[in-house]
Structure 1
Amino acid sequence: MKPASLARRRCLADLGAACVVLAAAPSLAWAQSVDPATAAPAEVASTLTGARLQGQLRFRWFGLHIYDARLWSRERVASDDYAGREFALELQYARSLAGSAIAERSIDEMRKLDAVNEAQATAWLAAMRAAFPDVQAGERITGRHRPGQGASFYFNGRATREIADSEFARLFFGIWLSPRSGSASQRAALLGQPA
């Protein structure tokens, strides 16, 4: 093998290792200060009367700003009891993403939290593909958690899909709020807690 080719392979291997480390780094989500007087978006104000901003974060992946997330609730949501609380999670995207890619990534993240059989995964993936349209920068997808019932989704304030499955809702919102989720700093920011 030529020395230049070997050096190129080593460089690519080092770059790949750096990407893996960056992908796992919890510092990719940064908390932003919360102004409790911030007005809830219309779909939150109309379906979750009295909801206030509990926490928010800016999510970056490999340095790219992907979305800003805001957690809206009437009462404090904690990581150990989020599945029993009513709240809304608003994601405002900073770049264009395919709705199907958002759905597929969501299933992958849900599987990291708990076992999901193939039949569930297939049904949930189809439901999320119907709920999540392609997004452009500035557009929003909001999910409302209804304890014991499931989830309702909105795109820029317009209802897109209800998923009447409490286990789906627990795992979907667990991506951000479960104690088993991958990023403690992301979870703390959304819950309005110090990291």
Structure 2
Amino acid sequence: MAAIVLTCSGAGLLSPKPAWAYDPLEFVPDQVAAARLYGSAVMRRYGRPAYGIKLFVDLGTFSADDLSRESFALDLEYKSALSGAEIASAFTGQMADEGIATGAQIRAWHKQLAQFLPSVQASQHLTAVFHPREGTRFFLNGNPVGLIAGNDFCRAFFGIWLDSTTTMPDLRARLLKGAG
């Protein structure tokens, strides 16, 4: 079972930087030294923008075919407010649609995500950073909110957007535009 680590600042409360003070182009290189912006897109639901998405990778070694091989990051800038529970359900629903993980894994990950994913407001950023020996760490506007260990979670979570079987092939193509 994947491990979960919760981190918060202050007296047990998360106090994120204001959305206007967060720039993933400045934050991500501190987390993944060789990472550069690879591609970006806008995820739409029912014709309306749900979030902007940016992929940051090491331009020389990244492979979408082996996501758990090296460190990289994905930044989601939300266009409207959502609860942490809604975000956890959306992520795990997509994982289920992809068929990359088992039902038991997805249920366990949903429970973990629901425990630490924060609610977001419009213009706030949820950034997921993967490191092979650590797992996937989540940040709200640059502040740590949680970690899920394991390569299986990496492949299932980032596979939502990057796996060849994604239900969003056009979005995948825009994120991987640096691949050609």
The TM-score normalised by the length of structure 1 is 0.73
3-state SS, counterpart of residue 57 of structure 1: strand
Aligned partner (choices 63, 66, 73) of residue 88 of structure 1:
73
- Give structure 1 regions of 4+ aligned residues with deviation exceeding 6 angstroms: none
RMSD of the TM alignment (CA)? 2.1
The aligned length equals 156
Distance (Å, rounded) in 1 between the aligned partners of 2:115 and 2:138: 10
Residue 68 of structure 1 corresponds to: 52
For 1:146, the aligned partner's letter is H
Q: Which has the higher helix share?
A: 1
Alignment of 1:75-154 (within 5 A): 75-76=59-60, 77-113=62-98, 114-118=100-104, 120-147=105-132, 149-154=134-139
The runs of 5 or more residues in structure 2 that have no matched partner are: 1-22
Aligned to 2:10: none
Is residue 2:37 matched to residue 1:56?
A: no
Q: In the alignment, residue 37 of structure 2 is paired with which amino acid? A: L
Distance apart, 1:188 and its partner CA: 1.0
Question: 1:149 deviation in Å?
Answer: 4.2
Query: Aligned equivalents of 1:157 and 1:54: distance in 2?
Result: 19
The TM-score, its normalising length taken from structure 2, stands at 0.78
Give the secondary structure class of the aligned counterpart of 2:80: coil
- 3-state SS of the aligned residue for 1:133? coil
1:81, CA displacement in angstroms? 2.5
Pair member with larger Rg: 1
| Distance in 2 (alpha carbons) for counterparts of 1:39 and 1:117 | 32
| Higher RCO structure (Cα 8 Å, ≥6 apart) | 2
What is the percent sequence identity of the aligned residues?
32
Q: How far apart are 1:148 and its partner, in Å?
A: 5.5
1:173 CA displacement: 0.4
Conserved? CA contact 2:37–2:54, under 8 Å:
yes
- AA at the equivalent of 2:49: H
